[in-house]
Structure 1
Amino acid sequence: MIIYLLLAIIIGYLVFVAIRIGLHQRLPLALGPISLELIPDRAAKKYRERPIFTIDIPCHWEIEALKTRYIDPLAWSAKRIQSTAGMLASLLQHQFNLQYGERVAIFKQNHFDIHLFTISIIRAGGIACPVNGKLSINDFDPYLANLSATILITDSAAILKFLQSGIDFGCCRKLIIAEKRALKSEIEVTALEEQMARSYPDIQIYWLEEALLSVQKESPAVPRGKDDPLYLVHSSGTTGFPKAVILKNGPQAHAVRGWLCYVHLSRTWDKGFGALPNNHQAVILSFNSLLLLGFPAHWSSSYDHLDFNAEEVMRALADGKFTGYFGFPVTYTQLKEVPAEKYDLSAMRIWGSTADASHEVIQRKFVSIGNAFKAFGIPLKGSIFLDAQGSSEVGTPSVIRYFTRYTNTFDRRIGRIGSTPFGPKIRIVKENGEKVKRGEVGKLEVKGKTVFAGYWNNPALTYQAIHGNWFFTGDVVRLNKDGHLIQLDRLVDVIHTSDGEVYSLPIEEKLHKHPAVFDVCVYAHQQPDGTYLPSVAAALKVKNSISNSLLLHEFNQMLEGKEKLCRCEIMEWSEFPIGVTGKTLKRVFRNRSEQMMK
């Protein structure tokens, strides 16, 4: 009898835990049919006018027909999202004559409305091509030409850049300014339109809010097949020019299933805060997953080293009693410097990161904040740090790992093979394609249902990247004896010394533990004989707190053998060459050292 009672208690507790993390909400969605173009309709039917998302800045445009229904410009229900997408889709179909499979580019300041535009383009039968608004015009111009996009959704700030640079626009002949004309003075509007007319007489300009006045009714979703390309998203550009990654409906629907299984949050008990670039594949995946789940979340427009305010975000997390925070590592670099004890973050349960290497010093700090286990009746303090390693091409994290304050092993262990639900198959191979043994170093390759179909308009690059259905992610890893993958470097960033290969990420892990360090970048510095040695650029917490020579000496005391640095350069963090997703571009430092040798 006691055994049955204990068994009943255990089963009851497991059911309680499953409900508390929303498994009963997420699992039926993950196991059911998913087609991305129908997610707004499904969400609207289930959650109706209940506010799901909030935003920090109102859209710079409105739909006149919806104004009386939706008074709060910062609150978005599933029904409002569906209606907005339907009106925008109708505009694209009827006024702009968008054809099935036609590309529509989005290039504007980071904002929640990027998601509204992407789902509208897909709803209308097109292919959404969101581009980070901080991409340089020199890169955007050829990228747009490669897309062969005929319509560009942009803003006035971007148009001024276009005029200054003399962009070509490729096949694009229609520009939609995602603003209301009234936000600008009549003089500014006239000047902008006249400049565009002189410079680009064959391009038509439309102000979005004015164009929407002609829309009479919402358009239903155009049915999309599993093999239909829905998105073209660009890679981060850390290895060079950004590539257009083809994401199809079926593979990304499969990725949504995985997200619903590894993000353990409940729409009843939890709410999230995101500070992310909304054009990014991982963020688009999260938007679709959150909308399908009806999960309450706040979307911040600031996410990088230029406009992200760490103090304000910590205050917002405390004041709003948020339970989850999701941001790229560039935000955590700044958040770690905020004294957490200033704020009541007891509601926090999970911190999530993706898109770049997340360091131990950051993970250790944030797992000590919050009360993830209190919700389950466990008297332990701390939260969970979810680190998801992947790329846009993989379509979902290659591997994931959950860290807690009770995690003992870090050392760039990023997860085990098969750790991502509905994720890809993984193998680690040598240059000759032979699989490595445990303890050996090799290239990380993946294949599976979520992996991208190829690079748009670039069959040669696609052929180079995919061999026998296996895609090389660009990562060099060690398959550890305990089954974990240890992330060592990007292949292009490996430091080729006269004594063999040296990997930058393990060195950075050690240097981040120096008390003076705010951020570091370890890179290959060319030597007179053509070989390379490890070098470091360092940003300090306190300016002028230590000299270059002394910091180099102290750094090298933390390192061993081939890891030791030949050079240390202290600089302002604002001077780091940081890309549009927040990654430090090591190739810029490396190229600079090569120029010094010429």
Structure 2
Amino acid sequence: MYLTQPLHRALQQFPDRPMTICGDRVRTTREVGDRVARLAAAFLRLGVRAGDRVGILALNSDRYHEFLYATWWMGAAAHPVNIRWSPAEIAYALDDSGTEVLLLDDAFAPLAHTLKERCPELRTLVHCGDGPTPEGMLSYEELLASSDPVPDVRRGDDQLALLLYTGGTTGLPKGVATTHRRLLTSMYGSIIINRAVEPGSVTLLTAPLFHIAAFCSWHNQNIVGGTHVFLPSFSAEGFLDAVQRHRVTSCILVPTMVQAICEHPELEQYDVSSLRTVTYGGAGSPQSLLLQAMRAFPRAGFTQGYGMTETGVLTILGREEHRKAGHRLRSAGRATASVEIAVVGPDGRELPPGEVGEVVTRGDHVMLGYWRKPELTHEALREGWLHTGDAGHLDEDGYLYLVDRLKDMIVTGGENVYSAEVENAVAAHPAVLSCAVIGVSDPQWGERVHAVVVLRPGHTAITVEELRTHTKSLIAGYKAPRTVEFVDTLPTSAAGKVLKRALRDAHGQ
């Protein structure tokens, strides 16, 4: 199993079909295949060898697509770098991974000098933007033009294919090392269950490709064949314009994106009828927001994916469950065809349906381990199971309900409170645009439930007691926020997840 196989199939079966669209630039599969083989040759000329890590720090583009394929084509491993990180975090990941060749686009070329100073092993910088090539960097297009195509080495199976660094929100980032076989196992398993993409589909890539959700969406479309439309960065207007202009059929969105689209004042003026599938994930979506999105895209089928960098997609909530719009809209769906999941207690024993514990998973979709961190790998992979750190429960039919990150669970007055349940209740208030719930120290209760709330435009008169009364009408009284803080925005990661550590830090937790 090797990740370049879909490109070979596409070259054989539909070489003249548009494969990438980036702004006004459209390239066919045949053109992409030639450029990939030339870029692979350029990497070899730069001294990259099988198993080496080649990095990219860039916004989404057709060149990002070519970079991923070219890296595998010549046998190296791709290291997409988190574009939201500080220079110090980026330098750490480059050093830790041993990345010697790095591609930067126009947005990140100004970091070149800083990264070269901080990363002694980083010997070659390649400019993959559209502007002039900065001094001290090599031109992406000139490298391609001066390189003759090389054959695909077809390095795959259990060879390292991808190195993605997670978080940085708790201590140093961890490099998740995974292989061709493990990535393809995850993606094949999700395609069988989900069918979010179809042969000939047009997928719009809005989430950044350094994130596992966007990466899986991108490669799932490669597997079945079709066209990619790249947006360098997300805006509601840019998304709607791209869907209308390119007749996009599928996309993946995080909740913050869904919210921005649904709140766009000119939403109804755009033709979004081509959308057949909207996949959302990356963070818990309040049910009220999901129902709003389903009204905004009435012709689209909705699917939800739950997973993590270490595993790829674990569970999927499909179109049928969304159409029924019952209580299972609150679930994360059921395990994909390649995944086994369970919920276990602190002693590692599997819990019966309905009991909350830690979500664990095993199978060929699980990572090799954390790069150069054997202790953390041993902690996460125990007795064949990967421990996700997520708290949840299964029902009798195998649907998974996530309630919190284990570290985010609130213990108030001796009772366990899971923030996701409280957030869903608070978000159902018509004045609430978004919210996050954390536990803060309290001399009486140990911890108290504290809500951080962003109000919808025009709503300023809501009181704390009104919000508490509303919440208690939906969930038990002890779960309702005892204190509420109103803010303009919530801090979020590139995946759309609220950074609760930043909220806790603000309260000295």
* Same fold (TM > 0.5): yes
Report the residue type matching 1:360 in the other structure: Q
Asked if 2 retains the 8 angstrom alpha-carbon contact of 1:251 and 1:451, the reply is yes
Give TM-score scaled by structure 2 length.
0.91
In 2, the alpha carbon distance for the partners of 1:165 and 1:205 equals 12
Query: What are the residue-to-residue correspondences of 1:570-585 with 2, within 5 Å?
Result: 570-573=486-489, 576-585=490-499
1:523 matched residue in structure 2:
438
1:588 matched residue in structure 2:
502
2:341 matched residue in structure 1:
426
Q: C-alpha displacement at 1:82, in angstroms? A: 1.1
Q: C-alpha displacement at 1:400, in angstroms? A: 3.6
334-343 or 149-158, larger mean C-alpha shift:
334-343
The change in CA–CA distance for 1:89 and 1:154 in structure 2 (over 3 A counts) is same
User: Among 205, 210, 214, which residue is 1:279 paired with?
Assistant: 210
Asked if 2 retains the 8 angstrom alpha-carbon contact of 1:479 and 1:486, the reply is yes
User: Among 408, 415, 419, which residue is 2:333 paired with?
Assistant: 415
Asked if 1 retains the 8 angstrom alpha-carbon contact of 2:6 and 2:225, the reply is no
2:478 matched residue in structure 1:
562
Query: What are the residue-to-residue correspondences of 1:49-64 with 2, within 5 Å?
Result: 49-56=16-23
Paired residue secondary structure (1:277): coil
In 1, the alpha carbon distance for the partners of 2:499 and 2:93 equals 19
Paired residue secondary structure (1:301): coil
Q: C-alpha displacement at 1:127, in angstroms? A: 1.0
Asked if 1 retains the 8 angstrom alpha-carbon contact of 2:112 and 2:125, the reply is no
The change in CA–CA distance for 1:556 and 1:364 in structure 2 (over 3 A counts) is closer
User: Among 71, 77, 81, which residue is 1:127 paired with?
Assistant: 77
In 2, the alpha carbon distance for the partners of 1:309 and 1:359 equals 21
In 1, the alpha carbon distance for the partners of 2:479 and 2:294 equals 29
User: Among 160, 185, 199, which residue is 1:229 paired with?
Assistant: 160
Paired residue secondary structure (1:594): coil
In 1, the alpha carbon distance for the partners of 2:450 and 2:129 equals 46
Paired residue secondary structure (1:141): helix
254-263 or 339-348, larger mean C-alpha shift:
339-348
Q: C-alpha displacement at 1:481, in angstroms? A: 4.2
Paired residue secondary structure (1:218): coil
Residue 109, structure 1, aligned to residue 59, structure 2: yes
Paired residue secondary structure (1:313): helix
2:263 matched residue in structure 1:
337
Report the residue type matching 1:335 in the other structure: I
Q: C-alpha displacement at 1:551, in angstroms? A: 5.6
User: Among 263, 287, 309, which residue is 1:392 paired with?
Assistant: 309
Give TM-score scaled by structure 1 length.
0.78
The change in CA–CA distance for 1:51 and 1:410 in structure 2 (over 3 A counts) is same
Deviations 1:189-240 (A, max 9, x none): 4xxx4xxxxxxxxxx632323344432x111112213110111012244555
User: Among 12, 17, 31, which residue is 1:45 paired with?
Assistant: 12
In 2, the alpha carbon distance for the partners of 1:525 and 1:162 equals 41
Q: C-alpha displacement at 1:55, in angstroms? A: 2.2
Asked if 2 retains the 8 angstrom alpha-carbon contact of 1:238 and 1:583, the reply is no
Query: What are the residue-to-residue correspondences of 1:11-410 with 2, within 5 Å?
Result: 34-56=1-23, 74-94=25-45, 96-161=46-111, 163=113, 168-179=118-129, 183=132, 189=134, 193=135, 205-215=137-147, 217-261=148-192, 262-268=194-200, 270-302=201-233, 308-338=234-264, 340-370=267-297, 372=299, 383-402=300-319, 403-410=321-328
Asked if 1 retains the 8 angstrom alpha-carbon contact of 2:468 and 2:481, the reply is no
Q: C-alpha displacement at 1:292, in angstroms? A: 3.0
Asked if 2 retains the 8 angstrom alpha-carbon contact of 1:499 and 1:562, the reply is no
In 1, the alpha carbon distance for the partners of 2:203 and 2:116 equals 41
In 2, the alpha carbon distance for the partners of 1:131 and 1:55 equals 20
Q: C-alpha displacement at 1:517, in angstroms? A: 1.4
Paired residue secondary structure (1:79): helix
- Structure 1: which 5+ residue stretches go unaligned? 1-33, 57-72, 194-203, 303-307, 373-382
Deviations 1:18-37 (A, max 9, x none): xxxxxxxxxxxxxxxx4213
Paired residue secondary structure (1:296): strand
Identity %: 25
In 2, the alpha carbon distance for the partners of 1:547 and 1:513 equals 14
Report the residue type matching 2:33 in the other structure: Q
Q: Which is richer in strand?
A: 2
In 1, the alpha carbon distance for the partners of 2:237 and 2:140 equals 35
Q: C-alpha displacement at 1:544, in angstroms? A: 5.7
Q: C-alpha displacement at 1:157, in angstroms? A: 4.0
The change in CA–CA distance for 1:397 and 1:115 in structure 2 (over 3 A counts) is farther
The change in CA–CA distance for 1:425 and 1:168 in structure 2 (over 3 A counts) is same
Q: C-alpha displacement at 1:265, in angstroms? A: 4.1
In 2, the alpha carbon distance for the partners of 1:325 and 1:499 equals 43
User: Among 353, 358, 378, which residue is 1:438 paired with?
Assistant: 353
Deviations 1:38-84 (A, max 9, x none): 3322211211021133223xxxxxxxxxxxxxxxx521222122111
Q: C-alpha displacement at 1:128, in angstroms? A: 0.7
Report the residue type matching 1:524 in the other structure: G
In 2, the alpha carbon distance for the partners of 1:144 and 1:357 equals 31
1:485 matched residue in structure 2:
400
Deviations 1:398-438 (A, max 9, x none): 4444343432114631113x3x12x2111110001111112
Report the residue type matching 1:149 in the other structure: T
In 1, the alpha carbon distance for the partners of 2:326 and 2:428 equals 16
Report the residue type matching 2:308 in the other structure: S
The change in CA–CA distance for 1:356 and 1:556 in structure 2 (over 3 A counts) is closer
Paired residue secondary structure (1:396): strand
Report the residue type matching 1:214 in the other structure: S
In 2, the alpha carbon distance for the partners of 1:429 and 1:74 equals 50
Paired residue secondary structure (2:229): strand
Asked if 2 retains the 8 angstrom alpha-carbon contact of 1:232 and 1:245, the reply is yes
The change in CA–CA distance for 1:213 and 1:50 in structure 2 (over 3 A counts) is closer
1:28 matched residue in structure 2:
none
User: Among 346, 367, 372, which residue is 1:457 paired with?
Assistant: 372
Asked if 2 retains the 8 angstrom alpha-carbon contact of 1:347 and 1:371, the reply is no
Paired residue secondary structure (2:493): coil
Paired residue secondary structure (1:183): coil
In 2, the alpha carbon distance for the partners of 1:334 and 1:114 equals 25
Deviations 1:321-356 (A, max 9, x none): 433332222211212213654444344332111222
Q: C-alpha displacement at 1:137, in angstroms? A: 1.6
The change in CA–CA distance for 1:410 and 1:311 in structure 2 (over 3 A counts) is farther
The change in CA–CA distance for 1:213 and 1:48 in structure 2 (over 3 A counts) is closer
Asked if 2 retains the 8 angstrom alpha-carbon contact of 1:129 and 1:232, the reply is yes
Question: RMSD across aligned C-alpha pairs, in angstroms?
Answer: 2.5
Deviations 1:441-479 (A, max 9, x none): 110000001111101111111011000110011210022
Report the residue type matching 1:537 in the other structure: V
